[in-house]
Copies of this chain bind each other. A is one copy, B any other.
Amino acid sequence: MDNNVKNLIFSNDVSGNIDAIAKELSPAGIYVIADVNTATFVVDRLAKTSTAIAGAHRITVKSGDINKTIESVTDIWKELNRQGATRNSLVVNIGGGMVTDMGGFAAATFKRGLRFVNIPTTLLASVDASVGGKTGINFNQYKNEVGLFCNAHAVIISTCFFDTLPREEILSGFAEMIKHAIIDANVGLGDLLRSDISAGTYTGSNFLEHVRRSVMVKQDIVSKDFKETGLRRILNLGHTVGHAFESHALRHGIPIAHGYAVAWGLVTELLISHMTLGLPTDIIYPLAKFIYENYGAYEISCDDYPSLLQLMGHDKKNESPDAITFSLLRDIGVIETGITVDPDTIRAALDIYRDLMHI
Protein backbone atom coordinates (compact mmCIF):
# COMPACT_ATOMS: atom_id res chain seq x y z
CA MET A 1 0.00 0.00 0.00
CA ASP A 2 1.20 3.48 -0.76
CA ASN A 3 1.30 5.11 2.64
CA ASN A 4 1.10 8.69 1.49
CA VAL A 5 -1.87 10.76 0.45
CA LYS A 6 -1.72 10.79 -3.37
CA ASN A 7 -2.36 14.51 -3.60
CA LEU A 8 -1.30 16.60 -0.64
CA ILE A 9 -2.07 20.13 -1.73
CA PHE A 10 -1.13 23.34 0.10
CA SER A 11 -3.05 26.22 -1.41
CA ASN A 12 -5.41 28.99 -0.56
CA ASP A 13 -7.16 28.45 -3.90
CA VAL A 14 -9.35 25.69 -2.49
CA SER A 15 -12.07 26.08 -5.11
CA GLY A 16 -9.65 25.90 -8.02
CA ASN A 17 -8.11 22.75 -6.58
CA ILE A 18 -11.33 20.89 -5.79
CA ASP A 19 -12.70 21.78 -9.23
CA ALA A 20 -9.53 20.43 -10.86
CA ILE A 21 -9.83 17.18 -8.88
CA ALA A 22 -13.50 16.84 -9.84
CA LYS A 23 -12.61 17.40 -13.49
CA GLU A 24 -9.81 14.81 -13.37
CA LEU A 25 -11.90 12.12 -11.61
CA SER A 26 -15.26 12.94 -13.27
CA PRO A 27 -17.09 11.13 -10.47
CA ALA A 28 -20.71 9.95 -10.60
CA GLY A 29 -21.85 12.61 -8.15
CA ILE A 30 -20.05 14.56 -5.44
CA TYR A 31 -21.20 14.27 -1.82
CA VAL A 32 -20.08 16.96 0.62
CA ILE A 33 -20.02 15.94 4.28
CA ALA A 34 -19.88 18.79 6.80
CA ASP A 35 -21.14 19.49 10.29
CA VAL A 36 -23.87 22.04 10.97
CA ASN A 37 -21.29 24.81 11.57
CA THR A 38 -19.05 24.20 8.56
CA ALA A 39 -22.10 23.66 6.33
CA THR A 40 -23.03 27.30 6.86
CA PHE A 41 -19.71 29.06 7.33
CA VAL A 42 -17.51 27.19 4.90
CA VAL A 43 -19.48 25.08 2.42
CA ASP A 44 -21.84 27.88 1.42
CA ARG A 45 -18.82 30.15 0.95
CA LEU A 46 -16.98 27.57 -1.20
CA ALA A 47 -20.10 26.93 -3.29
CA LYS A 48 -19.90 30.52 -4.56
CA THR A 49 -16.54 29.96 -6.23
CA SER A 50 -16.40 26.19 -6.85
CA THR A 51 -18.67 24.60 -9.44
CA ALA A 52 -17.93 21.16 -7.95
CA ILE A 53 -19.14 22.21 -4.49
CA ALA A 54 -22.06 24.23 -5.90
CA GLY A 55 -23.35 21.17 -7.75
CA ALA A 56 -22.68 18.68 -4.95
CA HIS A 57 -25.13 16.70 -2.85
CA ARG A 58 -24.99 17.76 0.80
CA ILE A 59 -24.82 15.58 3.91
CA THR A 60 -24.83 17.44 7.22
CA VAL A 61 -23.91 15.84 10.54
CA LYS A 62 -24.19 17.09 14.11
CA SER A 63 -21.05 18.84 15.36
CA GLY A 64 -18.74 17.88 18.20
CA ASP A 65 -16.68 14.85 19.16
CA ILE A 66 -19.69 13.50 21.08
CA ASN A 67 -21.40 12.87 17.73
CA LYS A 68 -18.46 11.00 16.19
CA THR A 69 -20.49 7.80 16.55
CA ILE A 70 -21.67 4.77 14.61
CA GLU A 71 -25.16 6.33 14.63
CA SER A 72 -23.83 9.36 12.71
CA VAL A 73 -21.98 7.06 10.30
CA THR A 74 -25.20 5.10 9.76
CA ASP A 75 -26.95 8.38 8.94
CA ILE A 76 -24.22 9.19 6.40
CA TRP A 77 -24.51 5.74 4.77
CA LYS A 78 -28.31 6.20 4.56
CA GLU A 79 -27.92 9.58 2.90
CA LEU A 80 -25.32 8.28 0.44
CA ASN A 81 -27.73 5.49 -0.41
CA ARG A 82 -30.80 7.75 -0.60
CA GLN A 83 -29.00 10.31 -2.75
CA GLY A 84 -27.81 7.60 -5.15
CA ALA A 85 -24.06 7.41 -4.50
CA THR A 86 -22.30 4.70 -6.53
CA ARG A 87 -18.83 3.21 -6.25
CA ASN A 88 -17.71 5.86 -8.74
CA SER A 89 -18.90 8.79 -6.60
CA LEU A 90 -16.63 11.17 -4.70
CA VAL A 91 -17.02 12.21 -1.05
CA VAL A 92 -15.61 15.58 0.06
CA ASN A 93 -15.22 16.00 3.83
CA ILE A 94 -15.09 19.64 4.91
CA GLY A 95 -14.47 20.43 8.58
CA GLY A 96 -12.37 19.72 11.63
CA GLY A 97 -10.85 16.35 12.53
CA MET A 98 -14.20 15.01 13.69
CA VAL A 99 -15.69 15.45 10.20
CA THR A 100 -12.62 14.24 8.28
CA ASP A 101 -12.15 11.19 10.57
CA MET A 102 -15.81 10.17 10.47
CA GLY A 103 -16.54 11.16 6.86
CA GLY A 104 -13.42 9.28 5.77
CA PHE A 105 -14.59 6.16 7.61
CA ALA A 106 -18.10 6.39 6.14
CA ALA A 107 -16.72 6.84 2.61
CA ALA A 108 -14.11 4.08 2.96
CA THR A 109 -16.76 1.55 3.99
CA PHE A 110 -19.69 2.49 1.70
CA LYS A 111 -19.95 -0.05 -1.16
CA ARG A 112 -16.49 -1.26 -0.04
CA GLY A 113 -14.89 2.11 -0.57
CA LEU A 114 -15.66 5.43 -2.24
CA ARG A 115 -12.84 7.86 -2.98
CA PHE A 116 -12.76 10.86 -0.67
CA VAL A 117 -11.09 14.25 -0.45
CA ASN A 118 -10.46 16.02 2.86
CA ILE A 119 -10.57 19.78 3.26
CA PRO A 120 -9.61 20.46 6.90
CA THR A 121 -10.91 23.78 8.18
CA THR A 122 -9.10 23.98 11.55
CA LEU A 123 -5.40 24.30 12.24
CA LEU A 124 -5.41 21.14 14.37
CA ALA A 125 -7.06 19.08 11.62
CA SER A 126 -4.61 20.54 9.08
CA VAL A 127 -1.42 19.69 10.96
CA ASP A 128 -2.57 16.54 12.77
CA ALA A 129 -5.50 14.66 11.18
CA SER A 130 -4.77 15.55 7.54
CA VAL A 131 -2.08 12.91 6.93
CA GLY A 132 -1.63 9.45 8.40
CA GLY A 133 -4.76 7.83 7.01
CA LYS A 134 -6.53 7.43 10.34
CA THR A 135 -10.29 7.34 9.91
CA GLY A 136 -12.80 6.33 12.53
CA ILE A 137 -15.25 7.01 15.31
CA ASN A 138 -15.55 6.79 19.07
CA PHE A 139 -17.31 3.66 20.30
CA ASN A 140 -18.60 2.52 23.65
CA GLN A 141 -16.98 5.54 25.36
CA TYR A 142 -13.56 4.75 23.86
CA LYS A 143 -11.96 7.30 21.55
CA ASN A 144 -11.31 6.14 17.97
CA GLU A 145 -12.12 2.54 18.94
CA VAL A 146 -13.54 1.73 15.49
CA GLY A 147 -12.03 2.76 12.18
CA LEU A 148 -9.43 1.92 9.61
CA PHE A 149 -6.27 3.19 7.97
CA CYS A 150 -7.29 4.59 4.61
CA ASN A 151 -5.80 7.54 2.76
CA ALA A 152 -7.82 10.28 1.14
CA HIS A 153 -7.44 10.63 -2.62
CA ALA A 154 -6.45 14.22 -1.91
CA VAL A 155 -6.12 16.60 1.03
CA ILE A 156 -6.34 20.33 0.39
CA ILE A 157 -4.71 22.30 3.18
CA SER A 158 -5.25 26.02 3.33
CA THR A 159 -5.20 28.78 5.92
CA CYS A 160 -8.12 30.66 4.41
CA PHE A 161 -10.76 29.29 6.80
CA PHE A 162 -8.76 30.09 9.95
CA ASP A 163 -10.16 33.63 10.20
CA THR A 164 -13.34 32.28 11.78
CA LEU A 165 -11.51 30.14 14.37
CA PRO A 166 -11.35 31.20 18.03
CA ARG A 167 -7.80 31.91 19.23
CA GLU A 168 -7.99 28.83 21.49
CA GLU A 169 -8.38 26.60 18.43
CA ILE A 170 -5.38 28.21 16.72
CA LEU A 171 -3.27 27.63 19.81
CA SER A 172 -4.45 24.02 20.04
CA GLY A 173 -3.17 23.32 16.55
CA PHE A 174 -0.03 25.36 17.14
CA ALA A 175 1.01 23.02 19.98
CA GLU A 176 1.20 20.14 17.46
CA MET A 177 3.25 22.36 15.15
CA ILE A 178 5.69 23.00 18.01
CA LYS A 179 5.89 19.24 18.57
CA HIS A 180 6.72 18.65 14.89
CA ALA A 181 9.42 21.35 15.02
CA ILE A 182 10.97 19.58 18.02
CA ILE A 183 10.88 16.21 16.27
CA ASP A 184 12.45 17.47 13.05
CA ALA A 185 15.37 19.91 13.16
CA ASN A 186 14.69 21.08 9.60
CA VAL A 187 11.43 22.81 10.49
CA GLY A 188 13.09 25.57 12.48
CA LEU A 189 11.68 25.72 15.99
CA GLY A 190 13.13 29.21 16.53
CA ASP A 191 11.38 30.58 13.42
CA LEU A 192 8.13 29.06 14.55
CA LEU A 193 8.30 30.54 18.05
CA ARG A 194 9.05 33.94 16.54
CA SER A 195 6.11 33.70 14.08
CA ASP A 196 3.23 36.06 14.61
CA ILE A 197 0.11 34.25 15.78
CA SER A 198 -1.86 37.27 16.84
CA ALA A 199 -5.38 37.49 15.42
CA GLY A 200 -5.67 37.89 11.66
CA THR A 201 -2.07 36.98 10.79
CA TYR A 202 -2.47 33.26 10.35
CA THR A 203 -4.58 33.19 7.20
CA GLY A 204 -1.89 34.24 4.75
CA SER A 205 0.79 32.48 2.74
CA ASN A 206 3.54 32.95 5.35
CA PHE A 207 1.62 30.94 7.88
CA LEU A 208 0.62 28.41 5.20
CA GLU A 209 4.34 27.77 4.67
CA HIS A 210 4.76 27.06 8.42
CA VAL A 211 1.79 24.68 8.20
CA ARG A 212 3.27 22.97 5.14
CA ARG A 213 6.61 22.33 6.86
CA SER A 214 4.79 20.95 9.88
CA VAL A 215 2.59 18.57 7.89
CA MET A 216 5.62 17.25 6.00
CA VAL A 217 7.21 16.15 9.30
CA LYS A 218 4.22 13.97 10.08
CA GLN A 219 3.91 12.77 6.47
CA ASP A 220 7.55 11.69 6.57
CA ILE A 221 7.07 9.69 9.78
CA VAL A 222 3.78 8.00 8.89
CA SER A 223 5.05 7.03 5.46
CA LYS A 224 7.69 4.94 7.24
CA ASP A 225 5.29 3.44 9.79
CA PHE A 226 1.76 3.61 8.44
CA LYS A 227 0.20 1.06 10.78
CA GLU A 228 1.76 2.56 13.91
CA THR A 229 3.97 -0.35 14.91
CA GLY A 230 7.09 1.57 15.94
CA LEU A 231 8.57 4.80 14.63
CA ARG A 232 5.22 6.55 14.61
CA ARG A 233 5.32 6.54 18.42
CA ILE A 234 7.63 9.54 18.34
CA LEU A 235 4.54 11.56 17.43
CA ASN A 236 3.45 10.77 20.97
CA LEU A 237 5.99 13.30 22.31
CA GLY A 238 4.31 15.53 24.92
CA HIS A 239 1.24 13.33 25.00
CA THR A 240 2.02 11.03 27.94
CA VAL A 241 2.10 13.94 30.38
CA GLY A 242 -0.39 15.91 28.24
CA HIS A 243 -3.05 13.17 28.43
CA ALA A 244 -2.46 12.96 32.21
CA PHE A 245 -3.07 16.72 32.52
CA GLU A 246 -6.17 16.40 30.32
CA SER A 247 -7.69 13.53 32.35
CA HIS A 248 -6.70 15.22 35.63
CA ALA A 249 -8.50 18.40 34.57
CA LEU A 250 -11.55 16.42 33.49
CA ARG A 251 -11.69 14.67 36.88
CA HIS A 252 -11.71 18.08 38.55
CA GLY A 253 -14.52 19.32 36.34
CA ILE A 254 -12.42 21.93 34.52
CA PRO A 255 -11.71 20.40 31.09
CA ILE A 256 -8.78 21.84 29.12
CA ALA A 257 -8.27 21.82 25.33
CA HIS A 258 -6.19 18.91 24.04
CA GLY A 259 -3.64 21.21 22.37
CA TYR A 260 -3.08 23.15 25.58
CA ALA A 261 -2.50 19.92 27.49
CA VAL A 262 0.04 18.87 24.84
CA ALA A 263 1.83 22.24 25.14
CA TRP A 264 2.25 21.84 28.90
CA GLY A 265 3.07 18.15 28.42
CA LEU A 266 5.84 19.08 25.97
CA VAL A 267 7.48 21.36 28.55
CA THR A 268 7.42 18.61 31.16
CA GLU A 269 8.65 15.89 28.81
CA LEU A 270 11.52 18.09 27.58
CA LEU A 271 12.51 18.53 31.23
CA ILE A 272 12.43 14.74 31.66
CA SER A 273 14.53 14.52 28.47
CA HIS A 274 17.08 16.87 30.01
CA MET A 275 17.36 14.76 33.18
CA THR A 276 17.35 11.43 31.35
CA LEU A 277 19.11 12.03 28.04
CA GLY A 278 20.86 15.36 28.61
CA LEU A 279 18.74 17.54 26.30
CA PRO A 280 20.30 21.04 26.55
CA THR A 281 18.28 23.49 28.66
CA ASP A 282 18.75 26.32 26.14
CA ILE A 283 16.19 24.49 24.00
CA ILE A 284 13.74 24.18 26.87
CA TYR A 285 13.66 27.64 28.42
CA PRO A 286 12.62 29.71 25.36
CA LEU A 287 9.94 27.13 24.59
CA ALA A 288 8.62 27.19 28.16
CA LYS A 289 8.53 31.01 28.01
CA PHE A 290 6.58 30.96 24.73
CA ILE A 291 4.09 28.46 26.11
CA TYR A 292 3.62 30.33 29.38
CA GLU A 293 3.05 33.62 27.53
CA ASN A 294 0.58 32.17 25.03
CA TYR A 295 -1.09 29.27 26.81
CA GLY A 296 -0.79 30.33 30.44
CA ALA A 297 -0.20 27.50 32.90
CA TYR A 298 -1.99 24.37 34.04
CA GLU A 299 -1.96 24.82 37.80
CA ILE A 300 -0.90 21.79 39.80
CA SER A 301 0.54 21.25 43.27
CA CYS A 302 2.60 18.43 44.84
CA ASP A 303 -0.67 16.94 46.03
CA ASP A 304 -1.61 16.20 42.41
CA TYR A 305 1.56 14.19 41.66
CA PRO A 306 0.26 10.76 42.75
CA SER A 307 -2.84 10.92 40.56
CA LEU A 308 -0.84 12.39 37.63
CA LEU A 309 1.68 9.52 37.84
CA GLN A 310 -1.12 7.01 38.01
CA LEU A 311 -2.74 8.54 34.91
CA MET A 312 0.57 8.46 32.99
CA GLY A 313 0.88 4.74 33.74
CA HIS A 314 -2.60 4.08 32.39
CA ASP A 315 -2.18 6.01 29.14
CA LYS A 316 -3.28 3.69 26.32
CA LYS A 317 0.00 4.10 24.47
CA ASN A 318 2.06 3.28 27.57
CA GLU A 319 3.80 0.01 26.72
CA SER A 320 4.05 -1.70 30.09
CA PRO A 321 1.56 -1.84 32.97
CA ASP A 322 4.37 -1.72 35.58
CA ALA A 323 6.41 1.21 34.28
CA ILE A 324 5.90 4.60 32.66
CA THR A 325 7.51 4.84 29.24
CA PHE A 326 8.12 7.94 27.15
CA SER A 327 9.32 9.14 23.77
CA LEU A 328 12.16 11.51 24.75
CA LEU A 329 14.68 13.85 23.13
CA ARG A 330 18.47 13.82 23.15
CA ASP A 331 18.46 16.95 20.98
CA ILE A 332 16.12 18.65 18.52
CA GLY A 333 15.33 15.94 15.97
CA VAL A 334 16.95 13.15 17.99
CA ILE A 335 14.21 11.12 19.60
CA GLU A 336 14.25 7.82 21.46
CA THR A 337 11.07 5.87 22.06
CA GLY A 338 10.05 3.40 24.76
CA ILE A 339 12.23 4.84 27.53
CA THR A 340 11.24 3.86 31.06
CA VAL A 341 11.46 6.77 33.51
CA ASP A 342 11.39 6.35 37.30
CA PRO A 343 8.78 8.24 39.34
CA ASP A 344 11.35 10.43 41.15
CA THR A 345 12.54 11.89 37.84
CA ILE A 346 8.96 12.60 36.77
CA ARG A 347 8.25 14.33 40.09
CA ALA A 348 11.40 16.44 39.75
CA ALA A 349 10.37 17.45 36.22
CA LEU A 350 6.93 18.47 37.48
CA ASP A 351 8.67 20.63 40.14
CA ILE A 352 10.64 22.50 37.46
CA TYR A 353 7.54 22.72 35.23
CA ARG A 354 5.82 24.57 38.09
CA ASP A 355 8.83 26.92 38.45
CA LEU A 356 8.87 27.71 34.73
CA MET A 357 5.11 28.26 34.71
CA HIS A 358 5.30 30.59 37.71
CA ILE A 359 3.06 28.34 39.80
Contact = CB atoms under 8 A, between A and B. Distances in A.
Contacts of A188: none
Given A112-B136, A136-B112, A145 B81 contact: yes
The size bracket of the interface on A is 20 to 34
A296 B113 CA distance: 39
B70 A140 contact: no
A136 to B, nearest CB: 6
A146 B76 CA distance: 11
Given A1-B1, A70-B70, A149 B113 contact: yes
A113 B148 contact: yes
A139 interface: yes
A80 to B, nearest CB: 9
A338 to B, nearest CB: 16
Contacts of A139: 77, 81
A163 to B, nearest CB: 34
Given A70-B74, A78-B140, A134 B146 contact: no
Nearest to A113: B148
Contacts of A187: none
A148 B81 contact: no
A344 to B, nearest CB: 30
A24 to B, nearest CB: 17
B140 A77 contact: yes
Contacts of A146: 77, 109-111
Contact of A109 (B77, B140, B142, B147): B147
A74 B74 CA distance: 12
